[in-house]
Amino acid sequence: MQASDAKNLVASPFLLVEDWFGIGIRLAGQVGIVIARTFYCLLRLQINWHESVRQAYFIGVKSFLVVGITALFTGLAMSLQIAIQLVQFGGESEIGGVVALALIRQIGPITAAIIVAGRVGSSIAAELTTMNISEQIDALKVMRIDPIRYLVVPRFVAAMAMMPVLSIYAMGIGIFAGMVIALVYADVSFGVFLDSVKSKVIDQDFYVHFLKSFINAAIVIFYSCTIGLNTKGGAADVGYAVTRSVVWSMTVMFIINYIVTDLTYEGPR
């Protein structure tokens, strides 16, 4: 929270709400412009594939370890809670299906997205803000190089390619964790667990999984790049841009996640 925000909060909480609402509206407009210019470049096939591959390595490969650890312990904790509750009602055979549905439709995509937002989105915001403050963005414009084509498009292409991979990876790790918990705490064999998964999971669940993955990738890249390209000032503003990038990316992701879940919900199975 900046000093002006603290003064507004003391003076009137309504001023703080109004201030942040205005920031959100302006940021949404800036993100819309970046999205339009990015897709304009994509439609004209103005893609730096070498830089896209480099960004894919940074976004995807270097995130595998932390995504795997996070997904493992998230899957263990969630599966343990589900197993405890279902055992009480004699529903041990349903553990696999319940765990798999949660991981495929919710936990897998959002786990990968949170890690990418915290690790990659913050890095992008810091890098682009530093370039903006040091006038490197202006130098690109002087050399008639479009900053969107040069900086945003490769990151967007890389994120759209790697986020689904990370989501599937997180889902697989989580399901493995669920199988271990079901065996240890509920004496449910791997075969019974997987049969429950097959009976509950349908093709649309995977469609939702990939849809959320692509949406989350776009949100992280567009918000972090937009904030980086529009933040100016001094060294302190680099940290401010990083914070804004992570906060706004995660906030929008959770909102969109709920909307997609609501629109694709089919009721009990």
For residue 2, being part of any structural domain is answered with no
Q: Which domain holds residue 183?
A: 14-264
Please tell me the predicted confidence (pLDDT) of residue 1. 46
For residue 232, being part of any structural domain is answered with yes
What pLDDT band is residue 140 in, cutting at 50, 70 and 90?
confident
For residue 212, being part of any structural domain is answered with yes
For residue 79, being part of any structural domain is answered with yes
Burial pattern 235-247, b for ≥16 Cβ within 10 A else e, equals: eebbebbbebbbe
What pLDDT band is residue 14 in, cutting at 50, 70 and 90?
low
Cβ pair 114, 69 in contact under 8 A: no
pLDDT tens readout for residues 99-134: 998 899 888 899 999 999 999 999 999 999 999 888
State the chain's mean pLDDT as an integer.
87
The tokens for 219 are 């949100």
Please tell me the predicted confidence (pLDDT) of residue 28. 86
What pLDDT band is residue 157 in, cutting at 50, 70 and 90?
very high
What pLDDT band is residue 268 in, cutting at 50, 70 and 90?
low
Residue 3 pLDDT > 50, yes or no?
no
For residue 243, being part of any structural domain is answered with yes
Please tell me the predicted confidence (pLDDT) of residue 23. 67
For residue 80, the SS3 value is helix
| Percentage above 90 pLDDT, the chain | 53
Task: Please state, in angstroms and rounded to a whole number, the distance separating the CA atoms of residues 203 and 206.
Answer: 5
pLDDT tens readout for residues 206-264: 999 999 999 999 999 999 999 999 888 777 888 888 988 999 999 999 999 999 988 88
State the average pLDDT over residues 135-141.
Answer: 88
**207 compared with 88, residue with greater pLDDT:** 207
**203 compared with 56, residue with greater pLDDT:** 56
CA–CA distances in Å: residue 6 to residues 120, 240, 243:
29, 15, 17
For residue 165, being part of any structural domain is answered with yes
Cβ pair 43, 32 in contact under 8 A: no
pTM of the model: 0.86
Please tell me the predicted confidence (pLDDT) of residue 89. 82
For residue 18, being part of any structural domain is answered with yes
For residue 9, being part of any structural domain is answered with no
Q: How many domains does the chain have?
A: 1
